Amino acid sequence: MTAHVEAPASSALARKFPPIAEFVIGSLALVIVGGIYMASKFPRRPPLALPIALLAGSIVLCLVAAVMTARLHDFAWARFRLVFGWALLAYVFQAGMIEYAFVHNNASGAPLAVITLLLVMFALDVPFVIAFTAARYSSPPAPTG
């Protein structure tokens, strides 16, 4: 019979965080549902009540996640900023290509404004969750002093 010895968890893996990633993923889910709903109604003018409600919910969830993230201590902020910046660059291009497809297909007015805001949230949510995850599992900088 052999004894099972558990290795101690590293400090990066053992740290507890508020449900930041879950809030951002919830925000992203609302954006995706709103975008799919809008796309399914084009080229006709889509009703805007549901997409606007989904957009508002997405914004609230993302802001709550941002506030929770801003309150973190001993967090790998340099890693977060580095990953967020590069991921944001990639997702701004992706959102821009999707926006171009809507403009090219004659979307205009309020529906285009709503789809643009949904794409802005998409371009923020994905880099946010990628950067948070990368920083979460990185070791924070050693305290000086």
141 pLDDT higher than 60: yes
pLDDT band for 145, please (50, 70, 90 cuts).
Answer: low
Each residue's pLDDT tens digit, 48-62: 999 999 999 999 999
pTM: 0.84
Q: Are 62 and 54 in contact (CB under 8 A)?
A: no
Task: State residue 10's pLDDT score.
Answer: 53
Q: Burial of 106 by CB count in 10 Å (0-12 exposed, 13-18 middle, 19+ buried)? A: exposed
Q: Are 91 and 127 in contact (CB under 8 A)?
A: yes
- Enter the tokens of residue 71: 């309150």
The total of other beta-carbon atoms located within 10 Å of residue 59's CB is 17
Each residue's pLDDT tens digit, 20-53: 999 999 999 999 999 999 989 887 888 999 999 9
Each residue's pLDDT tens digit, 88-128: 999 999 999 999 998 898 888 889 999 999 999 999 999 99
CA separation for the pair 132, 92 (Å, rounded): 18
74 pLDDT higher than 90: no
Q: Which residues contact 84 (CB under 8 A, 6 or more apart)?
A: 127, 128, 130, 131
Task: State residue 9's pLDDT score.
Answer: 46
2 pLDDT higher than 80: no
Average pLDDT over all residues of the chain: 89
Task: State residue 84's pLDDT score.
Answer: 97
pLDDT band for 8, please (50, 70, 90 cuts).
Answer: very low
CA separation for the pair 45, 18 (Å, rounded): 40
CA separation for the pair 9, 18 (Å, rounded): 19
- The type of residue at 9 is A
The total of other beta-carbon atoms located within 10 Å of residue 36's CB is 12
Domain ranges of the chain: 18-136
CA separation for the pair 122, 45 (Å, rounded): 22
